[in-house]
């Protein structure tokens, strides 16, 4: 397979999206966070607090992503159950019409026979146990009654399931809103702290960010091959996004959070993987040693599994790291996040 040396950087318009200052990048557009490195223990004061807030925001983002995925699944379940219940109700209405026609005909001829009373009974099961009454029904009437009973039970069950799913959906949407507020609150706090820094300090932070981007553009990835063609395709897709901004909850193609990048990249390779870093951690074959990883394998970071990226070769990770950053290559050893394990899809 061809060399994995880092390809030519994308256009200037893309690579300068968030390099003005780290503060400007956190400018809370109602989006922004999901995979920040742990605070550097050498940093002090305000910067350490900002790093901590970024970390907490990115951890909350993965929880938000999970809740959003659950909400989508629950909505599909609710829609399916409600559609099935509507169809079932239409069938029951048709059966009631036939039973009503029998009752009307018998009433006009001198009264409703026990057989029709059976059909109209609120407890037809009890009547069916009485063989003498069943004998008075035609085969068609018995069939209609049995079908009515079965569909009525199914309808009640579907309505009960739909009600349960609706409650779960409401609870999940409440969780979504809570996580969204938490993320925005963390980022607002970080912005407030950034605003307390002097112009010189802000310029230094911006230069550090730009230096990381320049280092990414010079990364030597070595010549390792991917473990599979699908991993190679996903990795190639992710490489095409270098320079794109980190945005919390984003799944591309112009911005990403950490798991948004990996799930989007595999989708380009025709492979569906879970949305969140925690779910992606068990989406394939687990690789416990860094030395056994191949380009395109997923890398799971942090003890709570709240960060994910691609192994890029030569000890590098390709990821969307944090608020105010771009999709880029970084040394795993210097990322500040503990490596947990790799995942081969």
Catalytic residues: 258, 307, 319
Question: Phi and psi (nearest 5°) for 310?
Answer: -100, 140
Phi, psi angles (nearest 5°) of residue 268 = -65, -25
62 within 8 A of 277, measured Cβ to Cβ: yes
CA distances from 157 to 126, 170, 192, 235, 266 (A): 21, 20, 52, 46, 38
Is the Cβ–Cβ distance between 163 and 19 less than 8 Å? Answer: no
Spatial strand order in the sheet of 328-331: 285-287, 339-344, 298-301, 307-313, 316-319, 328-331
Contact 239, 81 (CB under 8 A): no
How far apart (Å, rounded) are the C-alpha atoms in residues 318 and 295?
10
The pair phi, psi for residue 225, each rounded to 5°, is -95, 155
Q: Token pair of 168, please?
A: 């779960």
SS3 at position 223: coil
314 DSSP 8-state letter: T
What's the N-to-C CA distance of the chain in angstroms? 18
User: Left if phi > 0, otherwise alpha if psi is -120 to 50, otherwise beta: which for 289?
Assistant: beta
Cβ neighbours of residue 284 under 8 Å, at least 6 residues apart?
A: 273, 298, 343, 344, 345
Which phi and psi (to 5°) does residue 313 adopt?
100, 155
């Amino acid at each position: 397979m061809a060399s994995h040396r880092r390809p030519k950087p994308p256009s200037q318009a893309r690579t300068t999206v968030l390099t003005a200052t780290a503060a400007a990048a956190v400018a809370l557009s109602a989006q922004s966070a999901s995979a920040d490195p742990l605070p550097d223990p050498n940093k002090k004061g305000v910067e350490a607090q900002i790093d901590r807030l970024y970390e907490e925001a990115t951890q909350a983002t993965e929880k938000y992503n999970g809740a959003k995925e659950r909400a989508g699944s629950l909505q599909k379940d609710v829609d399916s159950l409600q559609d099935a219940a509507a169809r079932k109700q239409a069938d029951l209405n048709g059966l009631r019409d036939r039973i009503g026609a029998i009752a009307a005909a018998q009433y006009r001829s001198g009264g409703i026979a026990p057989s029709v009373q059976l059909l109209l009974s609120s407890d037809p099961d009890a009547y069916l146990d009485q063989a003498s009454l069943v004998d008075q029904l035609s085969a068609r009437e018995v069939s209609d009654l049995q079908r009515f009973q079965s569909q009525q039970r199914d309808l009640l069950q579907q309505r009960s399931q739909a009600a349960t799913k609706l409650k779960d959906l409401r609870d999940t949407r409440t969780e979504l809103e809570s996580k969204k507020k938490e993320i925005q609150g963390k980022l607002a706090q970080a912005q407030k702290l950034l605003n307390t820094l002097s112009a010189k300090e802000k310029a230094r932070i911006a230069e550090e960010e730009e230096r990381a981007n320049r280092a990414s553009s010079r990364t030597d990835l070595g010549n390792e091959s991917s473990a599979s063609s699908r991993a190679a395709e996903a990795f190639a897709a992710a490489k095409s996004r270098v320079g794109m901004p980190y945005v919390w909850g984003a799944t591309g193609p112009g911005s990403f959070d950490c798991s948004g990048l990996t799930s989007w990249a595999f989708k380009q390779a025709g492979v569906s993987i879970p949305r969140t870093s925690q779910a992606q951690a068990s989406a394939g074959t687990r690789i416990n040693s860094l030395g056994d990883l191949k380009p395109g394998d997923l890398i799971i970071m942090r003890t709570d599994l709240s960060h994910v990226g691609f192994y890029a070769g030569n000890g590098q990770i390709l990821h969307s790291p944090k608020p105010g950053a771009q999709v880029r290559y970084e040394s795993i050893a210097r990322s500040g996040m503990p490596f947990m394990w790799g995942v081969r899809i």
